[in-house]
Structure 1
Amino acid sequence: MTETRIAPAVEAQAIDPSDKDGDIIRCDACPVLCRIRDGRSGACDRYANHGGTLVRTDPLVLMSQTVASEDGALVPFLSGDVPWDGKLTSQSPVFVSGIGATTTYPDYKPAPFIVSGQWQGVDTVTVVTEGIFSYCSVKVKIDTDRHIGPEQASVLYNGEPVGHVTTAEYGSQMLSLGGVRHLTGGSKKEGVTTCESMLKLCNKQGVDFEIEGGARINVQAGRAPVIDGKREERMRVGCGSATIGIFAQQWHGHVDEVIVVDDHITGVLSEHQAGAYLGMEPAGIRVQGRKSTPGRYFKVAEPGSGWGGTNITDPLSIIQKIDPKKAWPGLRLLLVSTTGEDSLYCELDEDLMPQIHPMPAPLQVVVDRIAENCEPALCSVVFVAGAGGSLRAGVTENPVRLTRSVQDSLTRVTMGGAPCYVWPGGGITVMVDVLRMPENSFGSVPTPALVAPLEFTLPLADFERLGGHMGSITTLEGLARSRTEMRMAPWSPENPWPLSPIQKQED
């Protein structure tokens, strides 16, 4: 239990008669069932005892959309996070988020807030709650071609396994963190540690991980990854073959052979289809590895932190042989990585041995252009959760109808107002980019589980048809008159307005 800021009271709870001091409230917001003394908060820091009344410690977050000024420019309804004065205008659309709404989990009663409104002539309802998620994970995309660890290797946080390295994507390494088996299926320490690392990542904080048998990495949403103490600058422009295809015409006439070193597909220009298109003859320089199609080689080296995500620091070492029947003295050879960070220019001597020379200016232009075409290396953090179970009962007395409504795109699912991708198939499995959510949108409970805002928005008529809790509906004006503490935050302009798709469907 910790000391806390006390918000206005929102609902009363009886004092526990078994308490000898007579000042304890039992909180039933989640299965932990904290017994909270006056002036203290529960284990989640979201509920507190204020003079014998159970209160929320965080305000409910409302968001205002931008509106058109007299000169036609878009301006925010409010310039920043401020307490809401309760005023509503038709020119200033307001969305009630799940941030600060708290929860009714397990949902044996309606969601904390079911708010009606009107958008472009359509009566709507937004059901607002903070879901408690044990079935949740975090997917992390790390823009780098450097090897961070073998696939399926454990990801450690403070010495505890919290996830694993999963299949790499184009120009990025991927982590899968959390999940119910780490949160609740291992030791208590593993669960608590997993929850802590996920909470930090989802709230856009930096987290240090160690890959078993691999690298130490620092990950933060929207920031460049730091791998073994080195901050990454750029993700690769493409694999070695793609790099050949992009820049072949720019190299033509300035060089006789180009080898683009890459852990996945190393490209050799004169053998490549791009070289054939330009009328180039094979230069006779054979690289190590397994030949795939002409000019494309797999496994020229082992994965690592060297050139092109390999363990190579001397690029000439990947040359297996030079064919004297095809190569010639003076042959101009460029070796370059897929990010342009590493490059080397050579010419063959009389013995057909590569000799390093200064990089010619026309080739340096193209090497620099490779770097220019690489996007900045960033970390992306996506929260994945199953919004099923009893959570749906907070919306409707017949939960399967909500599931079907979401699957049929009649109900819009958002998290903190941010758009969610809903996985096809059964249930309501959602993914959200944490960068599109407001700051500190996530919390946790000591079960352990993550707490995240969740909103279901749909037309009022559809809400009634799916068996929604019509008797629990309130309005924005009703919220303004209630004792609920609220604050207004500006709407993120990159997020679609949650009610707009409904209006389009009605059309």
Structure 2
Amino acid sequence: MTEQEKNSVVQCDACPVRCRIKFGRAGACDRYANLDGELARVDPLVIVERAKKDGEKLIPFLSKEHEWSGDIVLADQHFVTAVGAGTTYPDYKPAPFIVSSEVNGIDMVTVVTEGIFSYCGVKIKIDTDRHLGHEQATVRCEGEAVGHVTTGEYGSQMLSLGGVEHLTGGSKKEGRVTCQCLLDLCNGQAVTLNVDDGVEIVVQAGQPPIINGVKEERMRVGCGSATIGMFAKQWRDHVDDVVVVDDHITGVMSEHQAGKLLDVEPSGIVIKGRRSTPGRYFQVANPGTGWGGTDIDDPLSILGDFKEKEAKPGQSLLMVSTTGEHFGYFELDDTLKPVEKELPDELKASVMRIQENCEPAMCSVMFIGGAGGSLRAGVTENPVKLTKSVKDTLTHVTSGGADVFIWPGGGITYMVDVTTMPENSFGYVPTPALVAPIEFSMRLDDYQALGGHMDSVQKLEDVLAATKIRQVGQNQEASWPMASKHYEWGPEG
């Protein structure tokens, strides 16, 4: 190695930072490096191999114990993803890979690039009844604001993190922390978040949430009213009344339509809360991490005095939460006060049935980004034609080979479940912005019609022959092209 080579510096043009990288060093994003005086991508490009025939046994997605056997692979069995492909910045450059292949006798082309997203974020669905924080409350990571609590959904709490205001609209530290938070979440890492006037929560895609140090096990079977509707018939012959405690809609069997249809007698029960329709009550307590997502530890605190004209001594009452995690059995004494007793076996079975019908709690992380600017210019000389082609379903969009949801309206705003993507699909640039893979697949003649960069089209077999590849597994649950084996290739071979 000459002294001149050791002192060489390469200019990276993969993002607006435009790092000058010294020999043997990587740029600020750790994605590009000066390798022997040439700009080189550090991490490998992922290749998806489609299943060769129906019924073929498939191996687990990205399983580490499955390595490439060394066999030559067939070009028509593969799909090139954008993971490790590189970016198209600045605008005048065609996408890093524009790959032609034949699929089912049709000439196809896939435009492969990694987009730089400042306008991006994640939507997180957290399966829990527990109150995380009030709607619009700020969500923080390492003390910095990275998002907010948004509208809750059925059995789940929702967070919206990231976005251009947090990435570039605040302090330098806020942008850096937000970028790292999004990167870790999208790459399947656990991230600790704190909600203002709320909880501490550990979020990891595909894993149960950990709320204030306690791992959540299940999401609720339904609201209190729905739970009454599902299980009233099982309770009818074993208890005089049932209250299902829920932060949103607390249900009372004797007043509920399900109870009326089963001829359940009025119990004289009085619920503290705002009565909606018969047997359904709002605002029985404040939101919290206790019974049914409320702030109570004692279920009797939501009851008033029983009505003397309807209630009877010895009358039985089951109180249970929407997950079956909390439950209590009571009988009225001579003064019509509920006294806790041991739960009868026949009611234990019904509580277990509630728990059985609760699905496992999980965190879902959806990346959302708007594909525009240089990304579209890397596909075609007339970017609006790409948008129209996507809207007309002539162009199929994937992210790391995974299925995406395209939002209606202007632009190409897409959303993808990060657990369906290859491992470590996301990167970053220190502008700060996230780097995410995106692929556009279409017929070759459609690509030519929308003004595609035809001079940059490469045959798939030529791309595969450019370097060595190795097998790293497959996703058995996704649709094509991810329902197939994966290969990745790069400097390490």
Quick check: TM above 0.5? yes
Structure 2 match to 1:320? 304
Deviation at residue 54 of structure 1 after TM alignment: 1.1
Structure 1 match to 2:270? 286
3-state DSSP class of the match of 1:478?
Answer: helix
Structure 2 match to 1:13? none
Deviation at residue 499 of structure 1 after TM alignment: 10
Structure 1 match to 2:26? 41
Deviation at residue 88 of structure 1 after TM alignment: 3.9
1:227 aligns with 2:194: no
Cα separation, 2, equivalents of 1:437 and 1:350: 63
1:265 aligns with 2:279: no
1:146 to 1:76, Cα distance in 2 relative to 1, 3 A:
closer
Deviation at residue 321 of structure 1 after TM alignment: 2.5
CA deviation string 1:211-249 (max 9, x = no partner): 111101101011111111111111110000000000000
Out of 376, 393, 407, the residue aligned to residue 392 of structure 1 is 376
CA contact (8 A) 1:66 1:74 kept: no
Out of 382, 385, 397, the residue aligned to residue 413 of structure 1 is 397
Cα separation, 1, equivalents of 2:393 and 2:307: 62
CA contact (8 A) 1:86 1:480 kept: no
1:27-426 aligned at under 5 Å gives the runs 27-68=12-53, 72-75=55-58, 82=67, 87-89=72-74, 93-426=77-410
Cα separation, 2, equivalents of 1:138 and 1:218: 15
Cα separation, 2, equivalents of 1:299 and 1:76: 50
1:430 aligns with 2:427: no
Deviation at residue 301 of structure 1 after TM alignment: 0.3
CA contact (8 A) 1:308 1:339 kept: yes
Structure 2 match to 1:5? none
CA contact (8 A) 1:270 1:295 kept: yes
Cα separation, 1, equivalents of 2:51 and 2:6: 51
3-state DSSP class of the match of 1:462?
Answer: helix
CA contact (8 A) 1:66 1:491 kept: no
3-state DSSP class of the match of 2:305?
Answer: strand
- Matching residue's letter, 1:323: K
- Matching residue's letter, 2:30: D
Out of 412, 430, 435, the residue aligned to residue 446 of structure 1 is 430
Cα separation, 1, equivalents of 2:257 and 2:233: 12
CA contact (8 A) 2:267 2:311 kept: yes
Cα separation, 2, equivalents of 1:199 and 1:88: 32
1:386 to 1:486, Cα distance in 2 relative to 1, 3 A:
farther
Cα separation, 1, equivalents of 2:361 and 2:374: 40
- Matching residue's letter, 1:248: A
1:106 to 1:83, Cα distance in 2 relative to 1, 3 A:
farther
Q: What is the identity percentage for the equivalent residue pairs of Structure 1 and Structure 2?
A: 61
Cα separation, 2, equivalents of 1:155 and 1:499: 33
Deviation at residue 407 of structure 1 after TM alignment: 1.0
TM-score, length of structure 1 as denominator length: 0.91
Structure 2 match to 1:503? none
CA contact (8 A) 1:65 1:491 kept: no
- Unpaired runs of at least 5, structure 1: 1-18, 501-507
Deviation at residue 487 of structure 1 after TM alignment: 4.2
| Equivalenced residues, count | 478
- Matching residue's letter, 1:51: D
Cα separation, 1, equivalents of 2:155 and 2:432: 34
1:490 aligns with 2:481: no
CA contact (8 A) 1:457 1:498 kept: no
1:79 to 1:242, Cα distance in 2 relative to 1, 3 A:
closer
CA contact (8 A) 1:139 1:381 kept: yes
Cα separation, 1, equivalents of 2:479 and 2:472: 16
CA contact (8 A) 1:457 1:499 kept: no
CA contact (8 A) 1:149 1:214 kept: yes
Cα separation, 1, equivalents of 2:213 and 2:482: 45
Structure 2 match to 1:16? none
- Provide the aligned C-alpha RMSD in A: 2.1
- Matching residue's letter, 1:58: D
Structure 1 match to 2:489? none
CA contact (8 A) 1:210 1:216 kept: yes
Deviation at residue 445 of structure 1 after TM alignment: 0.6
Deviation at residue 133 of structure 1 after TM alignment: 0.5
- Matching residue's letter, 1:262: D
CA contact (8 A) 1:153 1:165 kept: yes
1:229 to 1:355, Cα distance in 2 relative to 1, 3 A:
same
CA contact (8 A) 1:60 1:486 kept: no
CA contact (8 A) 2:122 2:367 kept: yes
Structure 2 match to 1:473? 457
CA deviation string 1:242-270 (max 9, x = no partner): 00000000001111110000000000000
3-state DSSP class of the match of 2:17?
Answer: coil
1:234 to 1:75, Cα distance in 2 relative to 1, 3 A:
closer
1:21 to 1:356, Cα distance in 2 relative to 1, 3 A:
closer
Deviation at residue 288 of structure 1 after TM alignment: 0.6
Q: Which has the higher contact order (CA 8 A, sep 6+)?
A: 2
3-state DSSP class of the match of 1:67?
Answer: coil
TM-score, length of structure 2 as denominator length: 0.93
Cα separation, 1, equivalents of 2:280 and 2:403: 40
